[in-house]
Amino acid sequence: MRSIPNFQMAAVLASLAALASVAVTSAGAEDRQVSVQTVENAETAIFAGGCFWCVESDFDKVDGVVETISGYTGGTSLDPTYRNHTAGGHREAVKITFDPDVVSYEELVEYYFHHIDPIDMGGQFCDRGHSYTTAIYTLNDTQADAARMEIDAIDASGVLPSRVVTVVERAGAFYPAEEYHQDYYLKAPLKYNFYRQACGRDDRVEELWGAKVSG
């Protein structure tokens, strides 16, 4: 389950004041996204990066991404739900459909790493446990090679204080999450943005990668 650390009242009020100025509408995302059926050569990528609300929000900003679906994968149980996916060994993940003529898989992998904490073995940000750990689920050898090459490049660069612990695994069954989880950042923007800020996701990503991120 998601957890949010305690905050002093001043920080909470400041956060709410900032969020009050943020206007997010589902119409904007719908206008941006291209129908999957209109992309003849659409491809799929699957990334686990902690809270799937946040991963979905991040990738919906990428040109060439035409669909994102939050769900569960990597475990052994059938038809997992939000309540029981952890017991079945699943991670929260996002299935991404993209147009390779606009954005490459390699570019998506690079973007993914720059929006997570890939050196955290215990979860992501305030969310702890296996279901929130990071993983790239590959659909073929080409994707697997691209993912591992990016990990090797990050490790060789020395940009992070320790080595990447994100795992690369062959994709298995992907189970879409409940409807209320889909596009949660659009359905409940105030709650979503407060959760994201309170969880420290963007602050930690900026600390690691040196770039301001907003989801």
Q: How many CB atoms lie within 10 A of CB 189?
A: 17
Which residues, given as ranges, of the chain have pLDDT below 70?
1-37, 212-215
Q: How does pLDDT run across 143-185, given as a tens digit for each residue?
A: 999 999 999 999 999 999 999 999 999 999 999 999 999 999 9
What is the Cα–Cα distance from 16 to 89, expressed in whole angstroms? 35
pLDDT of residue 209: 96
Active site residue 199: no
pLDDT of residue 1: 55
Backbone angles phi, psi at 120, to 5 degrees: -95, 115
What is the Cα–Cα distance from 206 to 176, expressed in whole angstroms? 30
In the chain the domains, ranked by start, together with CATH numbers, are 9-209 (3.30.1060.10)
pLDDT of residue 176: 98
pLDDT of residue 39: 84
pLDDT of residue 20: 39
pLDDT of residue 196: 97
What pTM was computed for the model? 0.85
Catalytic residue among 51, 54, 126, 199: 51
The CA–CA distances, whole Å, from 81 to 46, 49, 107, 122 equal: 18, 18, 31, 21
Beta bridge partners of 68: 96
